[in-house]
Structure 1
Amino acid sequence: MIMNRLILNIKPKTQWFPHFYLLGCEAVAVSMGLRYKGVKLSARKILAEIPKHKTNPFKGYVGPKRFIKTDRHQTVFPNVMVDYLKPYYTAQDSTGKSMAELEQAILNNHSVVLYATHFKVEPILREFKVEGRMLEFVSNIHITLLVGMDDKYYYMIDPLWAKFGWIKLPALFPMKQQLIKVKRKTLEKRYENAGRMSIII
């Protein structure tokens, strides 16, 4: 069966402008998805308000947001984000769901904040000290906003990168080239390798 292309009409936002958040892809992706639903909540406000934690992304955002600290896993996991968003919007922690289930969310007019492996398909595993004990995480994760699909590709808006032909460049300001298509099997594997973490907006 051939699937017609469906891409939600969501305007890109970027981690580079108007505020630089090198480690803020989660907040930018969420902000994009919320704006599509009529909820104005900036990445800046999300990063200011969301619970913080020095080492545990299951309990809060592990920063800093503008530069890399190699001794910690700098991210925040879906459970924290969904709980934080409750006063603004009822998002769903869709961690564990299959890509087929996430496709159904898009068919129902919801975008999906997707955690996937970055730069390479395979996961890079690293141990980090979390509240006094060593825990292993997939360290090469990046968060994008899944907005569409067809029979060959998934379509996502990347808050960090824009694609010009085969070349990826930093998305220094919002642009249509942030809408990037990825082969279905490739993104399925990237999502699986990152731990099947996602948020339905």
Structure 2
Amino acid sequence: MKKVIKVPYIDQTKEYPTGCESISTVMLLWYLKIMVTPEQFIDDYLIKEPMQKKGDRLYGPDPFFKFAGSPYDADSFGCYPPVIVSALNRLFKEKQIPKRAEDITGMSMEDMIKNYIDHDIPVIYWASIDLKETIIGPDWYLSDESRFTWISNEHCMLLVGYDDTSYYFNDPWHNHGCIAYPKALVEMRHKEQREMAAVAVDSGKTIV
């Protein structure tokens, strides 16, 4: 069996080198006929905080709360589902769109497919760039002087389908387009990136 949701594609590589989370989200918005540009999403809705060097220490935000750096900057890092969920929900509220975003981190792939893909709902999905091996680090300091450890090669794509051997993604990196990746490798990289994922659903609708 094969199912692939047709979603408009955007390449991130030149203009938004670390903007995979935002570009995957904007692809989802375009699929929902919400025509927000990447710049509008990044500038108006995404909460960001620059990285700063203080002496020999690197400081930055917790990626669960803010984007670490800027999606326009190749030397920046990224963000995790709560940041994207918060941005989407602000956008939906401002534009009075009857949708809500949800963090579905930790959900099994089987349930993700059954609850969302089979209902034509794409999933914002964290794994690794080109499904490369992830690397622990670097670390940086948060404002309270605690240390946060980044998992390098982090990447976000839009899950749009599956067949017997592969999952299909709108992968915004290097103009990959809609690309099939092997199931076992996808699931391994997803687990290495904290099994993070997010969706947008109709307000008031519960999928079991």
> How far off is 1:64 after superposition?
2.4
Q: 1:120 to 1:108 in 2, by over 3 A?
A: closer
What amino acid is aligned across from residue 7 of structure 1 in structure 2? Answer: V
Letter in structure 2 aligned against 1:128: W
What TM-score results when the alignment is normalised by the length of structure 2? 0.79
Distance 1:16 1:119 in 2: 13
2:118 aligns with 107
User: Does structure 2 conserve the Cα–Cα contact (< 8 Å) formed by 1:121 and 1:186?
Assistant: no
Q: How many residues align?
A: 179
2:84 is paired with a residue of what secondary structure?
A: helix
Who is 2:170 aligned against? 157
- Please give the per-residue CA displacement for 1:10-45, whole angstroms capped at 9, x wherever unaligned: 12111147xx11111111100111111222222111
Question: Structure 1: which 5+ residue stretches go unaligned?
Answer: 162-170, 172-176
More strand by share: 2
1:80 lines up with 2:83 in the alignment:
yes
Q: Please, which of 31, 55, 59 is the counterpart of residue 65 of structure 2?
A: 59
Residues 125 and 137, structure 1, Cα contact 8 Å, conserved in 2: yes
Q: Does 1:187 align with 2:190?
A: no
What does 1:24-173 align with in structure 2 at a 5 Å threshold?
Answer: 24-49=19-44, 50-54=46-50, 55-56=60-61, 57-69=63-75, 74-86=77-89, 87-88=91-92, 89-104=99-114, 105-119=116-130, 121-126=132-137, 127-131=139-143, 132-161=145-174, 171=175
Residue 9 (structure 1) aligned with residue 12 (structure 2): no
Compute the displacement of 1:53 (Å). 2.4
Contact kept? 2:123, 2:159, Cα under 8 Å: yes
- TM-score normalized with structure 1 length: 0.82
CA–CA distance in structure 2, aligned partners of residues 10 and 31 of structure 1: 10
* Preserved CA contact (<8 Å) 1:26 1:143: yes
Q: Which runs of 4+ in 1 moved over 6 A?
A: none
Separation in structure 2 between the aligned mates of residue 107 and residue 179 of structure 1, nearest angstrom: 17
